[in-house]
Amino acid sequence: MTKLSVNINKFATLRNSRGGNRPNVLQAAIDAQKFGADGVTVHPRPDERHIRYDDVRQIKQIITTEFNIEGNCREQSFVDLVLEVKPDQVTLVPDTLGQLTSDHGWDTIQNKKYLIDMIAVFKNAGIRTSIFVDPEIRMIEGAVETGTDRIELYTEGYAKRYTTDPREAVQQYLVAATRARSMGLGINAGHDLDLQNLHYLVQTIPWIDEVSIGHALVCDALYLGYENAVQLYKRQLNVE
């Protein structure tokens, strides 16, 4: 079954809006696991506007499931942090500085040499690697050549189109995920997944290894409660 990794960035965004330690980000990580999540994701950015580097170090101490750190490896401070913390998985995302949120995948062809080098750095440290890509065959084929263990399919496009035409929305992802699987890549997916669009994605592509979900899950937690929200998302992943 596809695993759920809860992205707790938005707990940190709320905390940072007032200073102090409410909500407690460390507790959010502990509770995600307690409520049934298969892992915790964080996406530190150099301005630390949400998850802070020190949060990442503390979360590592309490992780009993899988820890996934996402971010831009062009920032040396990010590379240093990941090598220090040694999560289970690092997901390389080509963010630009000050970007509101991730909005594109890697061009794995133009950045091939660079990605080969970076993937080797993390794999040599025993960390599983994933790279954030758009659902394009050329980019998937380029990803294989970098030596990465997995890709993370950037699902904003799916989420946007799902509301009008689910079948059309998922088609490009199905083709990309089929090609990725045939070349031996593991497959993650994330961005803008929610309680409406998640089930159809994993029902259509049940070989997705893991989804990371933050924004919508935390919004749902405000209305439904955190435990309930995590369990509702887990239930969407059950396609047997």
Ligand X SMILES: CC(=O)[C@@H](O)[C@H](O)COP(=O)(O)O
Binding site per annotation, positions for 3-amino-2-oxopropyl phosphate: 7, 18, 192, 214-215
Look at residue 130 and give the partner it binds from ligand X, ligand LD2JLWAY, none, a contact being a CB closer than 5 to 8 Å depending on partner kind.
Answer: none
Residues 66-105: x/- map of binding to ligand LD2JLWAY (CB under 6 A)?
----x-----------------------------------
Q: Are 215 and 192 in contact (CB under 8 A)?
A: yes
Look at residue 192 and give the partner it binds from ligand X, ligand LD2JLWAY, none, a contact being a CB closer than 5 to 8 Å depending on partner kind.
Answer: ligand LD2JLWAY
Nearest of 209, 113, 202 to residue 162 by alpha carbon? 202
Nearest of 131, 181, 138, 177 to residue 158 by alpha carbon? 177
Tokens representing residue 188 in the block: 């993650």
Burial of 85 (0-12, 13-18, 19+ CB in 10 A): buried
Known active-site residue 104: no
Look at residue 213 and give the partner it binds from ligand X, ligand LD2JLWAY, none, a contact being a CB closer than 5 to 8 Å depending on partner kind.
Answer: ligand LD2JLWAY
Site for ligand LD2JLWAY in 129-168 (CB under 6 A): 152
Known active-site residue 70: yes
Give dist(CA 168, CA 166) in Å, integer: 6
Q: Which whole-number Å values give the CA distances from 45 to 32, 79, 132, 151, 232, in the listed order?
A: 22, 12, 15, 20, 29
SS3 103: coil
**Sign of the CA dihedral running 9, 212, 121, 138:** negative
Residue 55 as a binder of ligand LD2JLWAY (CB under 6 A): the answer is no
Q: Give contact residues for ligand X (rule: CB under 6 A).
A: 7, 9-10, 43, 50, 70, 93, 101-102, 132, 190-191, 214-215
Q: What are the residue numbers of the active site? A: 43, 70, 191
Q: Which residues bind ligand LD2JLWAY (CB under 6 A)?
A: 7, 41, 43, 70, 152, 190-193, 212-216
